Amino acid sequence: MMDIIKTKVERFVFTLLNLLIYFINPLAMKKNFLTVLFFLISLTVFGQEKNLTSTQLAVSGYDLVSYFNNDSPQKGNKEHAVVYDSATYYFSTEENKNIFKSVPEKYLPQYGGWCAYAMARSKNVEINPEAYLVDEGKLYLFYKTRWNNTQLKWLNNPTELKQKADANWQKKVEQE
């Protein structure tokens, strides 16, 4: 499974370690440019709020358009990849790729692709791309295992949870 830096604490520790290496390692001092460049790249890549793999892949490679147009989400293919807003999205067909490219905002998942239920609790939690809900033209993704299905919890009180998740997401976006 691909590594994901999930929390601000992990990003902070990663950044702090980079700075520590920079100031302690004499070889790093000789390579100022490369060290600073790596540091800036790490802030750019790991400072984001989207749920992405280490290769910047979103929604575990699932086709975003298929959530809206199919009975179930389809796994995308890297041959039909699109990079949008620093994230890579895979699509199952060239047609779906072009549909997304024409209006990407319509298909992007809510809360940066994090679990909607967890966002209502102000947490960034991984999703199961097959646990989802399309409601009022918006895609909500959820964490789901054999023993825990947050989509069902969401459906018990969607109005209140959506309000909380929206407010928590707005706070996270403003902090970035």
Q: What letter represents residue 28's amino acid?
A: A
Q: How confident is the model at residue 40 (pLDDT cuts 50, 70, 90)?
A: very low
| Most confident range, picked from 5-9, 16-20, 66-70 | 66-70
pTM of the complete model beyond 0.75:
no
> Rounded mean pLDDT of the chain?
82
Q: How confident is the model at residue 12 (pLDDT cuts 50, 70, 90)?
A: low
d(CA 172, CA 111): 9
- The full set of domain ranges for the chain reads 8-46, 51-108, 109-176
Helix (H) or strand (E) holding 115: none
DSSP assignment of 34-62 equals HHHHHHHHHHHHHT--S-B-TT-BBGGGB
What percentage of the chain exceeds 90 in pLDDT? 63
Residue 27 confidence (pLDDT): 54
The answer to whether residue 105 scores a pLDDT higher than 50 is yes
Tokens of 5: 């830096």
Q: How confident is the model at residue 17 (pLDDT cuts 50, 70, 90)?
A: low
Residue 2 confidence (pLDDT): 37
Residue 49 confidence (pLDDT): 76
Asked which of 27-31, 108-112, 137-141 is least confident by mean pLDDT, the reply is: 27-31
